Amino acid sequence: MSIPLNELGARVLAKKLATREIKAEQLVRACLDRIDAREEDVKAWVHVAADAALKNAQQLDKGPIQGLLHGLPVGVKDLFDTVDMPTTYGSSIYHSLQPSADASVVALCREQGAIMLGKTVTTEFATFTPGKTRNPHRLTHTPGGSSSGSAAAVADHMVPLAFASQTAASVIRPAAFCGIVGYKPSFGLVNRSGVKPLSDSLDTLGFLGRSVDDVALFAAAASGDHSLLHLETSLAPRIALCHTHEWSFADEDTQQAMQHAASVFAKAGHRVRELTLPDSFAGLLQAQKEIMGFDLVRSLAYERLQRSSELSPGLREVLSMGQQISIDQHRANLQLAYSARAAVSAAFGEYEVVLAPSAVGEAPATLSQTGDPVFGRVWTLLGLPCVHLPFYKGSSDMPVGLQVVGRPGEDKVALRVAAWLWQQFS
């Protein structure tokens, strides 16, 4: 029995489209049919541009192959500006906003032939107040945040790829909860122009797909780094398990995932090694929270000062706490972050990457919150490349996995090792 087009991975689809084995219009229709069948339950989308997507697909089918993403439907997180679709940033304040330009990465991916299928749900200003989206594996569970709609849409086969962003854990945690691959690049690798800012020190754009090859293809198109298309997996990498200073937050499911990874290493003939981060890194979790809070107060200054009554109580509380952080404390937090970033390569020692928790455990059985971002905060502060791998099921048969964390700027290495691990776990 053939696999429906909407269930195929992006890399497979890209090859079929490039050889004209399938048409972009066929693929778009398959995705739209899935959305029609499931959106009432999953609620992943703010806006679906069905007519425009079909017209774009028909034009692509008539012309030459346009680029790496030729004919691939993409979900756009509703934090990213789009010239042809409304952008709300997850807030009623911007219910009627129509941007005059695309975000940089949206424009670059359109140039590479991507079809923007619609806007996916984000939490309120990509913070902590949930949107309407449900976890497609179990509709009573959160999909995570803030890239909730993007993760749910990819997991439910509505679209092969979707944009995400991370200031704390908003790529990795939704990927973990929804059982897909999430890639948060090194800080600064992908241009953020046209994406609503939260923190200049932390904001990082990311990519969601259903395999490591899929997110590598997406990132290659968005960043221009085509070396990411070729991930050599024949050589065993140097990997260590890293429980991190936040290990006490991990529940039994994440602990079991770590044990499972260790057993896979052992069966493959690799020595199981562990890396302990320096004691000086123990304060980074709190520093990230305070830097994010301080920056939010300023990034959302208009909304806080002029439209406060339209913000959720939860966001108003976050902003209130951010106002308590002095400029001197902020400078001290930034200095701590700078020092840790300078030391992190040495802290990795002989290892190319570490394998660390992605989330506390399975997606919580709630729609009123998006889960604890504790296991993403420090890696985001350090600006390191992270790739979530969904390879395990927890005690309630919901997805669990771990994240591959690479050295600063060594995104290709992180993706290469993630691809190698993907093979071992499969």
pLDDT tens digits, residue range 295-332? 999 999 999 999 999 999 999 999 999 999 999 999 99
Same domain, 276 and 182: no
pLDDT (tens digit per residue) in 167-214: 999 999 999 999 999 999 999 999 999 999 999 999 999 999 999 999
- Residue 269 is predicted with a pLDDT of 82
Confidence tier at 1 by pLDDT (50, 70, 90): low
pLDDT of residue 235: 80
One domain for residues 30 and 67: yes
Residue 272 binned pLDDT confidence (cut-offs 50, 70, 90): confident
Q: Are residues 69 and 212 in the same domain?
A: yes
Residue 31 confidence (pLDDT) above 90: yes
The candidate with the shortest Cα–Cα distance to 250, out of 108, 402, 52, is: 402
Same domain, 274 and 192: no
Catalytic residue set: 77, 146, 170
Residue 315, in any domain of the structure: no
Is 127 found in the same domain as 250?
Answer: no
CA 140 to chain centre: 21
Give domain status of residue 322, yes or no.
Answer: no
Which segments within 49-202 are labelled E, that is strand?
A: 73-77, 115-120, 161-166, 181-184
d(C-alpha 302, C-alpha 308), whole Å: 9
- Domain-ending residue, one of 187, 208, 229: 229
Using left for φ > 0, alpha for ψ between -120 and 50, and beta otherwise, residue 113 falls in left
Domain boundary among 195, 229, 263: 229
318 located within any domain? no
pLDDT at site 139 = 98
Give buried/exposed letters for 269-281 (b at 16+ CB in 10 A, else e): eeeebebebeeeb
Looking at the fold, whether 49 and 115 belong to one and the same domain comes out as yes
Beta partners for residue 119, in sequence order: 47, 76
CATH number for the domain spanning 176: value is: 3.90.1300.10
Block residue for tokens 């109580």: 313
Residues 248 and 360 in one domain: yes
Q: Does residue 46 share a domain with residue 16?
A: yes
Task: Supply the pLDDT for residue 36.
Answer: 98
Any domain includes 146: yes
Asked if residue 42 is part of any domain, the answer here is yes
Phi-psi group of 92: left, alpha or beta (phi > 0 → left; psi -120 to 50 → alpha; rest → beta) = alpha
Separation of alpha carbons 66 and 71, rounded Å: 9
Of all residues in the chain, the percent with pLDDT exceeding 90 is 96
Average pLDDT, the chain: 97
Last residue of a domain, one of 160, 195, 229: 229
- Residue 312 resides in a domain: no
What is the pTM (predicted TM-score) of this model? 0.98
What pLDDT was estimated at residue 267? 86
Q: What is the DSSP letter of 73?
A: E
Q: What percent of the chain has pLDDT over 70?
A: 100
Say whether both 172 and 198 belong to one domain.
yes
Strand-pairing partners, residue 328, are none
| 116-169 pLDDT, tens digit each | 999 999 999 999 999 999 999 999 999 999 999 999 999 999 999 999 999 999
Query: Same domain for 23 and 41?
Result: yes
Can you give the pLDDT at residue 379? 98
State whether 165 and 18 are in the same domain.
Answer: yes
Could you give the number of structural domains in the chain? 2
Q: Which domain holds residue 74?
A: 5-229
Whether 46 maps to a domain, the answer reads: yes
Which pLDDT score is estimated for 262? 94
Asked whether residue 311 is assigned to any structural domain, the reply reads: no
> Is 195 found in the same domain as 336?
no
Using N-to-C axis directions, what is the helix angle for 50-62 and 24-42, rounded to 10°?
Answer: 160
